[in-house]
Amino acid sequence: MAERGIAGETGAGPGTAALAIETRGLSKHFGHQAAVDGVDLAVPHGSVFGFLGPNGSGKTTTIRMLLGLAAASAGTVRLLGQEMPEKLHDVLPRVGALVEGPAFYPFLSGTANLHRLDAAGPHTIPSTRKARVNRALERVGLEHAAGKRVHAYSLGMKQRLGIANALLSPRDLLVLDEPTNGLDPQGTREVRNLVRSLAREGTTIFVSSHLLAEVDQMCSHAAVMSAGRLVAQGPLAELRQAGSARLRLLTPDGGLARQVLAGLGLALEPGQTGVARPQQDGETLVAALAADARQTGVLPEDVVAHLVQAGVRVRGFAVERESLEDRFVALTGEGFDVAQ
């Protein structure tokens, strides 16, 4: 269940008709161990949705249940408005997926692998196969290596070939599990640009990752998993704003400033006050702000007005918010990889 008070908590998201993925109470148990516990996902149509969490948090197990690759212990799944797994055969032709890394015939070329994979699909059109394979290879930047045997591909090239396989037919939903795994910076940028271009064409992209920087740069929405539970979800901009904030004040009138801040109900952070160049600038004071200052009636601009009205000389004033990394670490209690 989503953490109370966090953007996108259960029941606060868009209606069912506007969702590409919707789960209710989705759970998966292995014996007495809950790998996924009561997850309520709400993924809007047309979004680039980042599915974040430390390794082992339940992301891949959740994806496997979404795609019918694993049976849920409890809960429901709807993909593209259809009940899963009941409508599996109707839905999956509209879904492209790359889960747990691609698997290919190592001694066949990239092109030959895609031809075989496409031929295995019951709904594919043989007459357009060659053009579709060439187009998919071009979209992921592998046209130069199309004739090379896959055993000679780097890990990043295999990852891009897996994405090409997911793009062989038009998709309404694309599910990518760690799509930038093993990619060099250039390959990462290419995948990021590809995701953005697909989203502009109307495809919903669901991206599982433990790389915070990648999600931050390409996603419009996100959900955060921790120990099998969903602890937050919603538009990325709202998730950024949901964390704590603090104000930093530089003034030569520290004593008077403390009185004004206390009168506004703003407590100075312990250990965060000190004297910075007392002969020139004055004293730096740090006080905590509410995550949403509008709820308390104390806006940063009001603080400045009260300080000036009381005769406090303000030489510096700034509002500092938690970074996205800080917010996610606070939610999960674990660190995230923030770079490749």
Q: How many C-beta atoms surround the C-beta of residue 130 within 10 A?
A: 13
pLDDT in tens, 274-331: 444 444 567 888 887 765 555 555 778 888 999 999 999 999 988 877 666 666 666 6
Residue matched to tokens 């997850």:
39
Q: What is the CATH number of the domain that holds 297?
A: 3.30.70.260
- Shared-domain flag, residues 235 and 255: no
- Shared-domain flag, residues 268 and 210: no
Is 228 domain-assigned?
yes
Q: What is the CATH number of the domain that holds 149?
A: 3.40.50.300
Of 241, 271, 294, at which residue does a domain stop? 241
According to the model, what pLDDT value does residue 5 have? 33
CA-nearest of 322, 58, 102, 323 to 212 is 323
Of 189, 207, 241, at which residue does a domain stop? 241
- Shared-domain flag, residues 83 and 107: yes
Q: In which domain, by residue range, is 37 found?
A: 16-241
CA-nearest of 121, 118, 114 to 137 is 114
According to the model, what pLDDT value does residue 277 have? 45
Count of structural domains within the chain: 2
Is 6 domain-assigned?
no
According to the model, what pLDDT value does residue 289 have? 75
Is 7 domain-assigned?
no
Is 2 domain-assigned?
no
* φ, ψ dihedrals at 275, nearest 5°: -100, 125
According to the model, what pLDDT value does residue 179 have? 84
- Shared-domain flag, residues 87 and 111: yes
Is 326 domain-assigned?
no
- Shared-domain flag, residues 158 and 79: yes
- Shared-domain flag, residues 193 and 259: no
- Shared-domain flag, residues 186 and 302: no
- Shared-domain flag, residues 66 and 191: yes
Residue ranges in the chain whose pLDDT is less than 70: 1-17, 101, 241-244, 269-281, 290-297, 322-340
Q: Does residue 170 come out as left (phi exceeding 0), alpha (psi in the -120 to 50 range) or beta?
A: beta
- Shared-domain flag, residues 315 and 179: no
